[in-house]
Structure 1
Amino acid sequence: MKYLKHLSIIIMMLFVSNQMVKAHAIWIESNPIGSKNQSHTIRIYYGEYASGEIEKTKDWYSDLSQLKLNLLDSKNKQVELHLTDKGTYLESSFIPVEDGIYQVFISHPARELGGTTRYEFIAQNRIQVGEAVTYSSIPLDTHFVFTNQVLKVKDLVEIQLLRGSNPIANEEILLMSPSGWSKTYKTNNQGKIQAEVIWPGTYVIEHSHMTDQSGSWNDKSYTKNWQGLTASFQVK
């Protein structure tokens, strides 16, 4: 009986560990370059990008399929974009009418707790329209800053992690390639990492953070708060 009890504990620990490793995230995909007065498509996925797992929207965690997609235009005006359920992703579009940087983002705390953990799913992307561009801050507590251009194979990409306007040092950023290769980098004193991209396609970057935090969410108590932040860029 003692052997079976110990075996059950080990299996449970392995299961929990595997679930943590396999934690899903949402991410946004869009062409980083847009054209004035032309419709620009945006897609939102949920799954595990590193292993090629994309969940059908009916299977998304909690109320994630009801998330809101926000657009911050070149004049810093924020609007909510309409989303259409396409079965394996949510899709939206907008028409940029001026040159500048357009930012799309999601900040969605899931309705349900995972045990006693509150989960916040955050995603962002930027679209450049025209040559004259002015970068403005995005209304997310934690966010990435990275290049807007389409990169080429063997280019060096620089990614900065910020909280407000302050760089976050000594934090992990996971870089996931379309080939299935992934690598974790640690930010320097400026909150930056640099990585060479060696495969064409869409790359996803992710930063997650778990804190001890007590509170009540939808009439249920939680003791931890998890935040997962993602963004994507393209390589040709």
Structure 2
Amino acid sequence: MFKQLLFVSALCVASAANAHYVWLEPSSDGQAKAYFGEWQEDLRESASGHLGLLTTAHSVDGKGTLTPAKRVDDGFLAPVAAQADARLSSGFVGKDGTAYLYQARAGRTDTTARLTLELVPTEPNANTFTLMFDGKPLPKTKVTVFGPPKWEKSFYSDADGRVSIETPWPGQYVAEVSHADKARAGSWDGKAYQSARYVATLTFIKR
């Protein structure tokens, strides 16, 4: 019975790790708030739930400098400079030796990538992006966009990593993309891993 419970628990963790993502809610008060869950399902994990999987989180400024983010009961608070895009990196290493690395951005004014996996606008506030991974364009990759009425549509980056999305209504949008690197070994928060799965989001407001 105990082994069955452990198996079910492991399945729940794996399901959350693969379906969930971290996204940042834009803010004008000097802080952005990061949530772990699924925006389109109105699902925000709490510290007593799967949010507890994330072992640490850092905000990333426009120069790539890391600053520890403040953990709160339902997410993380990340400082952000006035009129700047906010970025946050978080994650954990699973029992399977895979690092689940979540990278979030709010705003689409900066045209330079600061995260390992990131949608970078070709110009400020554009609907065309270059999907970047490790400083290089990532081609032929699915980008899922969620819109204000919980609308959802998938787009794909082209051979040059470019992708153009649709934003039919005013309001908040969340674009989500994932990429697995089975050959990447390293450590996260002091724990070694043998492969990595990146999940990145971009949140922005269409006026």
TM-score bracket, normalised by the shorter chain, equals 0.7 to 0.9
Note the C-alpha offset of 1:180. Answer: 1.9
Q: Could you state the TM-score of these two structures normalised by the residue count of structure 2?
A: 0.74
1:148-227 equivalent positions in 2, closer than 5 A: 148-149=124-125, 157-213=127-183, 215=185, 217=187, 222-227=193-198
Which residue of 2 is the match for residue 235 of structure 1?
Answer: 206
Unaligned runs of 5+ in 2: 1-7
Output the amino acid matched with 2:74: T
1:13-32 correspondence runs (5 A): 19=15, 23-31=19-27
Distance 1:125 1:52 in 2: 18
Aligned length: 195
Structure of larger gyration radius = 1
* Partner secondary structure for residue 19 of structure 1: helix
Unaligned runs of 5+ in 1: 1-11, 129-134, 150-155
Can you list the C-alpha shifts for 1:153-194, whole angstroms capped at 9, x where unaligned?
xxx822221235532221111111232221221111331222
Matched, 1:137 2:112: yes
RMSD: 3.5
Aligned equivalent of 1:90, options 76, 83, 92? 76
In 2, the alpha carbon distance for the partners of 1:114 and 1:61 equals 17
- Percent identical pairs in the alignment equals 17
4+ long deviations beyond 6 Å: 218-221
| Aligned-partner residue type, residue 90 of structure 1 | F
User: Which residue of structure 2 lines up, in the alignment, with residue 119 of structure 1?
Assistant: 100
- Separation (CA, whole Å) in 2 of partners of 1:199 and 1:78: 34
Which residue number corresponds to residue 45 of structure 1? 35
Distance 1:215 1:141 in 2: 14
* Cα distance in 2 for residues equivalent to 1:194 and 1:148: 14
* Amino acid aligned to 1:122: Q
The offset of 1:125, in angstroms, is: 2.8
- AA aligned to 1:25 is Y
